[in-house]
Each structure stands twice: as C-alpha cells, then as structure tokens.
Amino acid sequence: MKQKKILIAFGTRPEAVKFAPLIQKLRQTSGFKCFVCLTGQHREMLAQVIRFFKIDVDTDLKLMRANQSLEYVSGRVIIKFGKIIRTVKPDLLFVQGDTATALMVAISSFYSRVPIAHLEAGLRTWDKYRPFPEEINRKLITHLADYHFSPSPIATRNLIHEGVSKLRIYEVGNTVVDAVQLARPLVKKKYTVFKSVNFKNRILFITAHRRESFGQGLREIFNGLKEIVQRHKDIDLVYPVHLNPKVSTLARKILGRVKRVHLMRPLTYEETCWIMNRCYLILTDSGGIQEEAPSFKKPVLVLRDVTERPEGIKAGVAQLVGTNQHKIVSAANQLLNSETAYKRMIAKTNPYGDGKASERIITSLRKILR
C-alpha cells in the first residue's frame, strides 16, 4: 500500500489521552505517515499528557489566550487549520469526541474536501443542552464525518438511528482503555501531591466541573460530599478542583474547612491513574473517568442527570445519581455501608473496551485507504 497521510488534530487532555495509543500504533505501522497537530487551547493540561505518552507533535496552532470564548476558539481554528491541511495534504483527518475544536477542525477539513474520521462516534444523551455544548458538537461532527469509529453497540445503534450507513461505521471499542493499559507501567509508585491524604482510610475520588451543573447543581454536590464525610469517620475525600471560578469559589466555600477533605490542584493524567487505582469509590461528572474507572475495578457514582456513556450503567458498574444532595448521599452510603452492594458494582471487565481498539482501527484504515 502506498504510504497514506493521516492528520490527527486535538487540543484538550481527554483528546490527547484517547489519541495517544492510536498515534503510537500508526507510527509503528508501515504504510501510514501520521501527522499530529495541536490546536493548543488547553495548554497546561495538554502538555503533561504529551510528555507522559511521549507524543511527537508536528505542528502547534498556539491558540490559547486568557478568558478565551468558544467563539474565539472556533473562528481561529477554522482559519489556521485550513493552512495546515493545505501544507500536509492528508488522505484522512482524525478528530475525537465532542469538543468545539473537534467540530471546527472537521468543518475546516470539509471545506478542503478532506475525508473525516470521527473517533468515539455515536455517543448521545438526546438532550440538546446536556452536556453543553458537547451533545450538539457530536451530532454535527457525525454529519460531517465520512467514517465513524464507534466505541460500542449502543453508539453504533445511535449512528444508524441518525441515518449513518452501516458501511461507514467501524465498531472498535474505546481507545481510552488502550490508553490505561499503555499508562500502567509508566505510572510512578508515589506522588507528593497526595502526601496529606490518610490512605489508612477509604478514599473517595471526586471530580465535578460540568457547565450544566454550575450554580445550584454544584452546591447540591458539594453539600452532599460534606455530609458524606461527616457521616463516615473512616474516609478521606480527594477532590482536584477545576480552575474555573464558578467551580473553585463554591468548592472552597463549602468544603474548604471540612476535615479529611483535600482540595487539590488539577491532577495530571498519571496522578489521576494513580489515585483511581488506590481509591475506594469514585464520584464524577467526567465522561473519561466513567470509561477509565472499570479498568481499575472501582464503582462510579455519576454526578449527572443523563450520560452519553450508558454502557457502565447497563453493566452495573456505574450509577446515575444526578446533582441532588439526598440522592448522592444515599447512593454513597449504600456502597460505604454494604460490602455486598459494593462488590456488585466492581467490574469483571471494562464495558467500554478490551484495550485493542487501536489495532482494530489500523485494520479498518487499511480497508478504507487501500
């Protein structure tokens, strides 16, 4: 096969994590020339993933600026990425997931008539504003994409429901599971950020930052966490606080002086893997952590009313608890008080994949580009 040029573009940490194993596979496989372009709007969080997975970057759009808006990022991506496409002349462009950047990169590629492949295609909540703006970003990318790499049968059915031809869908699993396997031997034995945590206690790992929860939703979540810690004297709560003032200000107001609550800076990917491996229970509104947690065999309480990742719910390894204080406390208490209930939620296998998604994608690309 004549060497084919694959252009991969991303700008956030989750995108980098999910692309890392695929980039590695492409660069180890003959017949492909892989170009990596950073849009660069989340510079600090992105840089540590690139270092950790040793991703060689070919070009960087350097879009980040203080207090950037979706409108600013969107316009700049379309303008600057078009120049990259004209320089590289790729046979195929890869975007991942549901960010505004992924959508704008796809639009730029469409304008240049370059075929588009969508990694992690078909996730849906069927609610326009939850998650916001990701749900609409995903749907728009679907209509732009030529090839759809679906992570699960549920995602495949969603695509077919929206009129995507079965011949254009490749059900490969989720590369986030590949990334966890890739990361395991690279994670250190200890990290100083956790030095104040008492690991003789059971550790609750928390993430909460979604836009649709701003205000009363986050207030309910934080009050629920406070009540859980006060009810159980044998737990420590680890919460890396998002930098957005709408999250951090309220978190520090409600949880800042609560004993055994550790409000931390945002964690690196490797630190996140480390704490997920050592915690007892995870409460999160993050999509990526919902997918990663089963690989660490940890139950997940999802701090959202809907999720575009229902595979964990269906498998019984995750539970939707929303942003209601009473519901969050009740669900956490059940798992903290009942060993039977806890063991029921430990995953035997990860419902999001088996760690071979990247291999399947390479096989599919050979068929697509031959």
pLDDT tens track for 133-144: 899 999 999 999
Tell whether 19 and 157 lie within a shared domain: yes
* Catalytic-labelled residue, pool 120, 291, 292, 308: 120
pTM of the model: 0.93
Domain annotation covers residue 147 = yes
Domain annotation covers residue 149 = yes
Tell whether 114 and 198 lie within a shared domain: no
Active site residue 178: no
Instruction: Report the amino acid identity of residue 52.
Output: F
Domain count, the chain: 2
* Catalytic-labelled residue, pool 27, 157, 202, 211: 211
Overall average pLDDT of the 166-192 stretch: 97
Tell whether 115 and 225 lie within a shared domain: no
DSSP per residue, 3-72: -EEEEEEE-SHHHHHHHHHHHHHHHHSTTEEEEEEE--SSHHHHHHHHHHHTPPPSEE-----TT--HHH
Active site residue 171: no
Active site residue 211: yes
* Catalytic-labelled residue, pool 15, 98, 236, 311: 98
Span 275-328, pLDDT tens digits? 999 999 999 999 999 999 999 999 999 999 999 999 999 999 999 999 999 999
Overall average pLDDT of the 95-122 stretch: 95
What kind and span of H or E run contains 302? strand 300-302
Tell whether 42 and 153 lie within a shared domain: yes
Tell whether 150 and 125 lie within a shared domain: yes
169 within 8 A of 156, measured Cβ to Cβ: yes
Query: Given this model, what pLDDT does residue 42 score?
Result: 64
Burial class (CB in 10 A: 0-12, 13-18, 19+), 148: buried
Active site residue 15: no
Query: Given this model, what pLDDT does residue 72 score?
Result: 66
* Catalytic-labelled residue, pool 27, 157, 202, 242: 242
Q: State the DSSP code for 127.
A: -
3-state secondary structure at position 239: strand
* Catalytic-labelled residue, pool 15, 134, 220, 292: 134
Overall average pLDDT of the 330-350 stretch: 96
Tell whether 284 and 251 lie within a shared domain: yes
Tell whether 250 and 231 lie within a shared domain: yes
Count CA atoms closer than 13 A to 282's CA, side-chain side.
Answer: 33
Domain annotation covers residue 11 = yes
CA 219 – CA 321 distance, rounded (Å): 15
Tell whether 276 and 130 lie within a shared domain: no
Domain annotation covers residue 179 = no
- The tokens describing 221, both together, are 């979540």
Tell whether 166 and 214 lie within a shared domain: no
Tell whether 26 and 162 lie within a shared domain: yes
Active site residue 134: yes
CATH of the domain at 265: 3.40.50.2000
- Show the domain range for 26: 4-173+355-369
Tell whether 234 and 336 lie within a shared domain: yes
Confidence of residue 68 (pLDDT cuts 50, 70, 90): low
Q: Is the pLDDT of residue 22 over 90?
A: yes
Domain annotation covers residue 221 = yes
Tell whether 133 and 196 lie within a shared domain: no
